[in-house]
Amino acid sequence: MIIFKKNVILPVFCENLPHMLNNYSKEDKVLLAVDCIIFGFDKEELKILLIKRDFEPEKGKWSLMGGFLKRNETLDDSANRILHHLTGFHNIYMEQLYGFSKVDRDPAERTVSVAYYALINIEEHNQELIEQYSARWFSISEAPKLIFDHDQMVNHAIRRLRYRTSNKPIGFELLPEKFTMRQLQKLYEAILDEELDKRNFINKINGLDILIKLTEKDMSSSRKGSFLYQFDKEKYDKKVEDGFTFKI
């Protein structure tokens, strides 16, 4: 139907025409997967949690933990479900990373994947669940070749994590509740893949005012021991909320 108004021709679409514009039945159906890059820290090294795939294609090879989006889920819901199955954790720090849509990325079916990365404290993970999925922690430098485009996903996640060190405090999700300054520095060195000057690092961390120095000491590192620290959660969360610049 066409309406004429003041010499202007305006098209009006009737309600019974949507099937002409949105005929979903004729559109291609594509699977949507969610893959999770799970980082942990063991006081010395940055590690990644991988599973040994138990079905074809690529059966027996190492893979990220993943699954398919369900009809009643958002992407975040799906990622949380997958992470909970593998780690037993809820409320993990998690961030959507990137979409991977190369046409032949999965030889079994046309599949688009949305990748997430997550940060967890290795000491608190559920070892029984991890064994159930034939999962294993690998240091980033010694991780095996992964299936499909999962290596590309990991590389994207590492770059994102390195960028995050410049605009938010990193450590609350990866370190134990009490940690030494050396452990915190080792974490940053592991993420950035470079050695940092001890005095400069300590000064910059103290300048953030997000740590609580405890009277307790870790006596395993030396005879004198090293003071333990905790994050001040209120100040830490405020820094995350406000954003900041932290160049080491």
pLDDT of residue 2: 45
pLDDT of residue 18: 57
Report mean pLDDT in 10-residue bins for the chain, 248 residues: 48 54 80 96 90 91 95 96 85 92 95 95 73 85 96 97 86 90 94 93 91 91 86 87 72
Which residue has 């980082």 as its token pair?
39
Q: Is 88 left (phi over 0), alpha (psi -120 to 50) or beta?
A: left
pLDDT of residue 20: 54
3-state DSSP helix/strand/coil % of the chain, to nearest 5: 30, 30, 40
In DSSP notation, 66-126 reads: EEE--TT--HHHHHHHHHHHHH--SS-EEEEEEEE--TTSSSSS-EEEEEEEEEEEGGGS-
Instruction: Report the Cα 186 to chain-centroid distance in Å.
Output: 20
pLDDT of residue 123: 80
**179-242 topology per CATH:** Arc Repressor Mutant, subunit A (1.10.10)
Pairing of strands 31-41, 111-121: parallel
For residues 186 and 44, is the Cβ–Cβ distance under 8 A? yes
Which homologous superfamily does the CATH classification assign to the domain defined by 25-164? Answer: Nucleoside Triphosphate Pyrophosphohydrolase (3.90.79.10)
| pTM summary value | 0.84
For residues 115 and 37, is the Cβ–Cβ distance under 8 A? yes
Residue 228, C-beta contacts closer than 8 angstroms, at least 6 positions apart: 178, 179, 180, 214, 216, 217, 218
**Do 25-164 and 179-242 show the same overall fold?**
no
In the beta sheet, which residues pair with residue 228?
180
Residue 235 is encoded by which pair of tokens?
A: 């100040």
Domain boundaries, the chain: 25-164, 179-242
Angle at 151 (CA atoms; ends 147, 152), nearest 5 degrees: 120
Of 56, 67, 57, the residue nearest 33 (C-alpha): 67
Integer CA distances (angstroms), 172 to 120, 138, 188, in order: 9, 21, 12
For residues 205 and 211, is the Cβ–Cβ distance under 8 A? yes
What's the burial of 15, exposed, middle or buried (CB within 10 Å: 0-12/13-18/19+)?
A: exposed
Task: Determine the Cα–Cα distance for residues 140 and 207; give it in Å rounded to an integer.
Answer: 30
Pairing of strands 31-41, 135-139: unpaired
